[in-house]
Structure 1
């Protein structure tokens, strides 16, 4: 059984600003609350450390698609199974929409509980809110 979540946030910042923050994968821990560390292994692969309630997870993810100011897609090649895509939409000169979509395999009780109680959705919402603050601060400076 796989689970998926989709979250969207509108940001008072141009697509270029939102893209600049997301496209540097090593900055993800600054706005993704459960991501402790992302290390670049090579051009396309990154080692991740996640800190989740009751469990720490490590995995290696590979970028499968990177289209500037449009989308970033990835999937895991080692460890927990999941795949995701972030898309960027221009709403106006100074506003944009960012959509995060993740497909994952909820293995183990904690993940099942998260999928059942929408904890994942709440976390993704919170993270996108943090990202929104970061992007709007960057756009304002």
Structure 2
């Protein structure tokens, strides 16, 4: 059974700053509970090492769509089923609304119990709050990847990525 979690937070940084920081996957362990390490394997593939409620997992995720200052979408490649999208909405010059939507399929007794108790929703809410604290306390991004992955809405969604970091 797939579960869906949506969490939104407003951050006091420009949209470009929030977006650029979100593309720095290797910094996620600094604000995401249970994420021990993320390795950027290619411009569109990451390897995750997590440990949540004593359950250790490793998996690869691939970016399926990415548009600068707008959205980053991903899905796991194998094993744990997870797919999500984070969107960035400019509220004004110095404020951005960040919305994370995550679809995941709990497996095993611990994960299913955690889902029933709302632990995943609470963890994501905490992750988003920590992202807010992380980016606002810095006031700037650590870096950013401005590549465009996937099709723009008016294009064919099967078009391969056209831009990668150099």
- Give the TM bin, normalised by the shorter chain: over 0.9
Residue in structure 1 matched with residue 30 of structure 2 by the alignment = 30
Partner of 1:47: 47
**Which residue of 2 is the match for residue 132 of structure 1?**
132
C-alpha contact 1:60 1:78 (8 A) present in aligned 2 = yes
d(CA) in 1 for partners of 2:65 and 2:12? 26
More strand by proportion, 1 or 2? 1
User: Could you say what the CA RMSD is over the residues aligned between the two structures, in angstroms?
Assistant: 1.4
Show CA shifts across 1:44-100 (max 9, x none): 111100110120111110010110010000000022111011100111111111011
Deviates more, 1:38-47 or 1:99-108: 38-47
Moved over 3 A (4+): none
Residues 17 and 140, structure 2, Cα contact 8 Å, conserved in 1: no
Query: Unaligned regions of 5+ residues in structure 2, if any?
Result: 142-166
Structure 2 residue 122 is the aligned partner of structure 1 residue 92: no
Q: Is 1:116 the equivalent of 2:102? A: no
Distance 1:140 1:76, change over 3 A: closer
Structure 1: give runs of 5+ residues left out of the alignment.
none
1:41 aligned counterpart, secondary structure: strand
The CA deviation at 1:23 is: 0.9
Which structure shows the bigger proportion of residues in helix conformation?
1
CA shift for structure 1 position 29: 1.3
1:14 and 2:14 correspond: yes
* Paired positions, count: 141
* Equivalent position of 1:78 in the other structure: 78
Which string of whole-angstrom CA distances, capped at 9 and with x for unpartnered residues, describes residues 9-33 of structure 1? 0111111111111011111111111
